[in-house]
A and B are shown apart, each in its own frame.
Chain A
């Protein structure tokens, strides 16, 4: 099965060209053997202790109302009659220019601690403003190939090796596996965390597991999806036992000061319910985030469990109508995101009230958000905004150089909110520069392999921001 929807190249010929053999379409990992052993020797490699959590904001988050350019006169009630958030309502980020959406007040302690980098004007040249294409480009790391269904994060993991016996190197917790983690070797995607197991109880469960496991492991046949099906089954079965052991449904870490659940996944854990701090529609997002956090904590060198990359998504950012301003649809989503980021910092620092008392891993963790594009500077006729170019994103973690990037007078000159096509905020930092920095300086990616992870990167002359200490 080719990852290139419009390409005539068969998967088999692609692999032959890469010098790998197929070993009879069996379960042998497609990653080259000898290289794996070398990579394990590296001290700052993957599956050392460094971790990455990603959260994709689907739909195109309006960066302009999230990190507000209060110092730009173009941010005004003239351009945004109903969406405008005046300075008195927004949060001061301390540089005399940028301000934070009031619904994200949960982030202020994290920001004050210096562990949060707020980056604006992120995008890439000539984005099509199509959800489909631009999400794919943000996930596949190659604007020249909008039809490539393979992730830059997958390639980072593949190029920097995984050793046999390390389960769950990467995990996504969302309805469909994101392209970020797609590649020839399937990683685990858990869409329904509360029902991720075979139906019957033991011993029947084991009988089915062994039966199906054997059927898929010993698979021959020339059907193009056989290798993918085989590996998916192997991965599934490896994962089920491990996941069961986490007992995620009984894990409820709490804020040490307020006693609130850090991940509201039900009415009982929704602070202040009824009515609750968050809508019931938020429970899925918080559950996914909780599983991501748990996978990080349940991984350590002793167990050799290995989850180092995890991620989920938050949807409904495509606010063409009724976006809201200080409150409303976007505000509600931003409040969830802010609380989630804050909860990650607390629980991954080992600071949560939690009988399980996991050791902290925050200094080894980076959390980042993504979104396919920003939204129009001017409000539309439906009290919302349309697709545009640049947006903002958040990078948090113990090793992050906190602060505001690309939202001050030197990086946000006059007129920049209409600089692209006379309508859109133009980008200043390419998304690839941000994520390559994180991969190289935090996750220990081999600098020599940059072009395998982000094709063509070394020729682009992109400016990096210095987000990682």
Chain B
């Protein structure tokens, strides 16, 4: 493999850092010959000496006329054949290229076409696949992660990311320093800022992705929490901000922990009996005399079984009664952990003499419906929650029994598996993929037992489809992923403040501020419209052309550290654009797209050829961030 190891701008290291082009121990294997398509659409070729594996590329014949290259179709193929060739579109034909590679020598040539020019490719399989993995499981590549995935290989990198505790952040000074002003968040904007800083700077990329996945899946809206603390508005407005934001930080921290150290049963309870959700979906006003169906409906429809999961309106009615009696109140610290302990009187809330204590979850037996409830009546999953009329305080266990029954329903693992697959692998996961993830869910040998969230995630990322180059670029980055990946790619600098947050606001993706219980969608088409394309393009241009440490990038430093001169003379433009396309989208572009980038760099604002300056180099980086390749993931 060809390596390109870069200097990280903090100077601290745990990986050997050398600038310049990597070390090649041997020559790569030669050109592959004898490529042919046989029966049952099988591509085969003649073995090449000294090869570890082969890569297959594919393109439409109509592209060749324009000089557009083939894209990676098969990565690290062990055999000398490749099957499952798809049909081309009507009126078109495919062409295929095969290369041989060795661990010691890297990837060999794809040969030359007619006229003696090298056969064009849109990026190499290695670069495309690494970029695919970095984009999907995290927020794109930065210097640390690009070096890390090169050092460990894709599987090694995935395994490490699945064990966040093993990834040392203690030397990650950018992350540490930038988190300081944001923890604890004084208001919800600071929590949004923390999300941005974590995503941009953390080495534990998968941890950040998965945390936001669960935060989004169990969507809560801070505006409801803020309203609930209205009593602080007149005397202690800063507390209205900080106490309400704390609810969402708490939920997020629980999700972060349980995603790798718990089960789905754990996480659904952490959400449902968490303070933010109790307020957001009206559990806080759900009482026996007037049950509220808001949380029960969304618990079944959005959090566990899905709208087609087989529950009925009657189940919602029963669940509404299960969750009666729960609310939030303030308690003395000594009894804060006891949901049945007495609350500090609510007429003190917000007054100058409000006693010290903690805002906690509370259960009021007197407001709880103590009758027997039945879920999934008449089905094999029927669960009876017994009456607690003789001991109302025992009704606190109703919610536990309800969560047990819902999580045990077979629709739940299927619904969650599908959503995880949509996020990481394929927006239309097949039944076989879902089945495989459900098997992992139900494995009693999981370290945390059935529904072990880490093992479920491992199974999602172990799908063959996750390593399918044909699926690279098959999803769209959400606005959050777009801005954070842009920052990560070019030594971006952000304090998590309004500069980035305003873009997210205009693209309608502010975590913790989504009013809709469904959360943000997993389907890319929802994130593409004229407005969002405009904002993505504006963001890349805006950020890349700035150099402030609170909002900007260090494009020049990044280039120079990688041995790319930014001097105007001699013309280093080709090296500059090739490096930028490599880090932004694995070099997956065509000759004409590359020429467009060169033209941008080599002309002034009026389109007249003129020597570039540092400023125009930065602009070019921003320009490339607006390319479709950077919008895709």
Complex Cα gap A41–B358 (Å): 72
Say how far B464's CB is from chain A's closest CB, in angstroms: 17
Q: Is B297 an interface residue (CB 8 A)?
A: yes
Q: Of A195, A210, A228, which contacts B525 at CB under 8 A?
A: A228
Would you call A241 an interface residue if the criterion is a C-beta within 8 Å of the partner chain's C-beta atoms?
no
Residues of chain B within 8 A (CB-CB) of A211 are 596, 599-600, 623
For residue B186, CB closer than 8 A to chain A, the reply is: no
**Which residues of chain B from 613 to 633 have a CB within 8 Å of any chain A CB?**
623, 626-628, 631-632
Q: Which residues from A are CB-within-8-Å of B66? A: 220
Interface string of B535-550 (1 = CB under 8 A from A): 1011001100000000
Contact yes or no, B533 A229, CB < 8 A: yes
Taking a contact as CB atoms under 8 Å apart, the answer to whether A320 and B294 are in contact is yes
Q: Report yes or no: B506 in contact with A382, Cβ–Cβ below 8 A.
A: no
**Interface residue A91 (Cβ < 8 Å from any Cβ of B):** no
Contacts of A320 in B (CB 8 A): 282, 292, 294
Q: A133-B307, A199-B541, A215-B593 are in contact. Are A176 and B89 (CB under 8 A)?
A: no
Q: What CA separation (Å) do A380 and B517 show in the bound complex?
A: 20
In the assembled complex, B126 has its CB within 8 A of some CB on chain A: no
Given contacts A130-B301, A220-B66, contact A215 B533 (CB under 8 A): no
Q: Which residues of A contact B287 (CB under 8 A)?
A: 381
A16 lies within 8 A of B90 (CB): yes
Query: Quick check: B525 and A1 within 8 Å, CB to CB?
Result: yes
Contact of B285 (CB < 8 Å), options: A3, A146, A214, A382: A382
Do A232 and B89 contact each other (CB < 8 Å), given the known contacts A199-B541, A204-B605, A215-B593? no
> Within the assembled complex, what's the spacing in Å between the Cα atoms of A3 and B524?
11
Q: CB-defined interface of A348-388 with B at 8 Å, one 1/0 digit per residue?
A: 00000000000000000000000000000000111000110
Which residue of chain A lies nearest to B541 when distances are taken between CB atoms in the complex? Answer: A199
B561 located at the interface, meaning its Cβ lies under 8 Å from any Cβ of chain A in the complex: no
Q: Contact check, A200 vs B596: say whether CB atoms are below 8 A apart.
A: no
Min CB–CB distance B85 → chain A (angstroms): 13
A203, A216, A221, A387 — most chain B CB neighbours (10 Å): A221
Say whether, besides A192-B531, A212-B537, A220-B68, A203 and B605 are in contact (CB < 8 Å): yes
| A256 on interface, CB distance cutoff 8 Å | no
Instruction: Judge whether A176 and B508 touch: CB under 8 Å.
Output: yes
Docked pose: A82 CA to B627 CA in angstroms? 56
| Residue interface mask B286-301, A partner, CB < 8 A = 1 | 1101111110010001
A229 to B603, CA, bound (A): 26
Residues of the A chain whose Cβ atoms lie less than 8 Å from the Cβ of B516 = 131
A186 vs B533: C-alpha distance in the bound complex, in angstroms? 12
The number of residues on chain A lying at the interface, defined by a beta carbon within 8 Å of a beta carbon of chain B, is 74
When each residue 115-159 of chain A gets 1 if its CB lies under 8 Å from chain B and 0 otherwise, what string results?
000000000000011111100000000000010010000000000
- Is B116 close to A, CB under 8 A? no
Give Cα A47–Cα B178 distance, bound, in whole angstroms: 54
Determine the distance from Cα of A18 to Cα of B563 in the docked complex, in whole angstroms. 53
Contact of A232 with B313 at beta-carbon distance under 8 Å, contacts A207-B600, A222-B71 already known? no
A321 at the B interface (CB under 8 A): yes
Report the Cα distance A18→B222, complex, angstroms: 46
**A24-B62, A176-B508, A421-B313 known; A186 vs B528 contact (CB < 8 Å):** yes
Residues A226 and B628 in contact, CB atoms below 8 Å apart: yes
State in angstroms the CA–CA spacing of A177 and B532 once bound together: 10
Chain B 261-307 residues near chain A, CB threshold 8 A? 282, 285-287, 289-294, 297, 301-302, 307
Within the complex, what minimum Cβ distance (angstroms) separates B596 from chain A?
Answer: 6
- A448 touches B (CB below 8 Å): no
Known: A192-B506, A380-B292. A236 touches B596 (CB 8 A): no
Indicate if A239 sits at the interface (CB-CB under 8 A). Answer: yes
A460 within 8 A of B: no
User: Are the CB atoms of B515 and A315 closer together than 8 Å?
Assistant: yes
A-side contacts of B506, CB under 8 Å:
191-192, 195
Closest partner residue, chain B, to A182 (CB atom)? B525
Please give, as numbers and ranges, the residues of chain B lying within 8 Å of A198 by CB-CB distance. Answer: 534, 537-538, 541
Is B530 interfacial (CB 8 A cutoff)?
yes
Binding site for A on B (CB under 8 A): 58, 60, 62-63, 66, 68, 71, 89-92, 122, 282, 285-287, 289-294, 297, 301-302, 307, 313, 427-428, 430, 470, 473-476, 506-508, 515-518, 523-526, 528-535, 537-538, 541-542, 590, 592-593, 596, 599-600, 603, 605-607, 623, 626-628, 631-632
Binding site for B on A (CB under 8 A): 1-3, 5-8, 12, 16, 21-22, 24, 128-133, 146, 149, 175-177, 182, 186, 188-192, 195-200, 203-204, 207-208, 210-212, 214-216, 218-226, 228-230, 232-233, 235-236, 239-240, 315-316, 320-321, 380-382, 386-387, 421
Q: Could you list 16 A-B pairs, sorted by A, with CB under 8 Å?
A: A5-B427, A7-B428, A8-B428, A24-B92, A176-B508, A189-B529, A198-B534, A207-B603, A208-B537, A208-B626, A216-B628, A222-B58, A222-B60, A225-B628, A230-B628, A232-B528
